[in-house]
Each structure stands twice: as structure tokens, then as C-alpha cells.
Amino acid sequence: MSTIKSFRGQIADNGIDTISLHTNDGLTGYRIKKFEIISQDVADSATEHIMQLFTIPQATASQFIDFSNQTLLGVSVTTSLNNMYAGQTKIIFDNMTFNQDIYLTHVDAAGAVPANYYIELEQISLALDENTVATLKDIRNIEGRNDSA
């Protein structure tokens, strides 16, 4: 039986948050089960919230979504138009297993309204070989980002 851990909070427009998951031995892994967002101001008629989850720290929050980015874990986009909250919501996340901290970015492309998030992660025990694969993937992603910078 797996354990579900939940995280919730509020993030400002152009904000970046860290969700601390790392352990000393790296034998605890996680998979995203739920990723939901809701505007701080549900009556605001002009919001376009874009939240993205990454496996490595981001220098800035961006409204641009790139599914070819191997460090992207999930995306949630919610728009509110003409005082009709939840005019459109899209949530997409990868079933990848990770064992390090994750990083959340938020942009309100239509304004500057903060947004709330709720994330559920399935906690799983990793065998030593799974731990090694997850850790090496994180190292490769960090080195790849530094090479392109």
C-alpha cells in the first residue's frame, strides 16, 4: 500500500516555490497523482494561470510550455473569462518517478493574480537500482541545463 502526501499553498504571479522531498538515502520516490490550481480571486474576470512542475530549479517562471523539456513533470492551466470561473482547465502530468525536490512556477498571463495549488504525490519505496536511476536522471538534467546556459 502506498502513501499519499499532499502539498498546498499559494504562489504569486511570476513566483517559484520549492517542494522539499529529498531524503538522505534517496530510497523514497514520488509520482504525481493530482495537480490542481485555483485563482486567489475567483471573481476576477481576467486570469490565465499557468503552473508548471519541474525536477530542477528554474531561473524564472514562464508562460511558455515545452513538453520536450525532460525536466517538466506537470502543467496546469486555468483561465477565467467574463466572470465565469473555470472557463477552461487543463491538467497534464507525467507518470515519472522522482526522488528529489520539485519546483513549481506560476504565471498569470492575463494579470498579476496569485494562485493556489494542491498537489498529491504517491510516496513509494525505491529499490537501490531505482534510486540510482532516479538520481542519475536528476544529475543528467542538471548538467544538461548548465551546458545550455
Helix (H) or strand (E) holding 102: strand 102-108
Cα separation, 40 vs 44, whole angstroms: 9
Domain residue limits at 38: 3-148
pLDDT digits (tens, 9 = 90+) for 106-124: 999 888 899 999 999 999 8
Q: Which three cell numbers stand for residue 92?
A: 497534464
Q: Which residues of the chain have pLDDT under 70?
A: 1, 44-45, 81-88, 130-149
Q: What is the pLDDT of residue 135?
A: 63
Q: What is the pLDDT of residue 23?
A: 81
What pTM value is reported for the model? 0.82
CATH of the domain at 56: 2.60.120.340
Structural domains of the chain, count: 1
DSSP string covering 12-73: -TTEEEEE----SS--EEEEEEEEEEEES-TT-SEEEEEEEEESS--SS--S---TT-TTEE
Q: What is the pLDDT of residue 53?
A: 95
Q: What is the pLDDT of residue 86?
A: 53
Q: What is the pLDDT of residue 90?
A: 75
Percent of the chain beyond pLDDT 90? 47
Q: What is the pLDDT of residue 25?
A: 80
Q: Which three cell numbers stand for residue 71?
A: 525536466
Q: Which three cell numbers stand for residue 102?
A: 520539485
Q: What is the pLDDT of residue 24?
A: 80
Cα separation, 119 vs 5, whole angstroms: 8
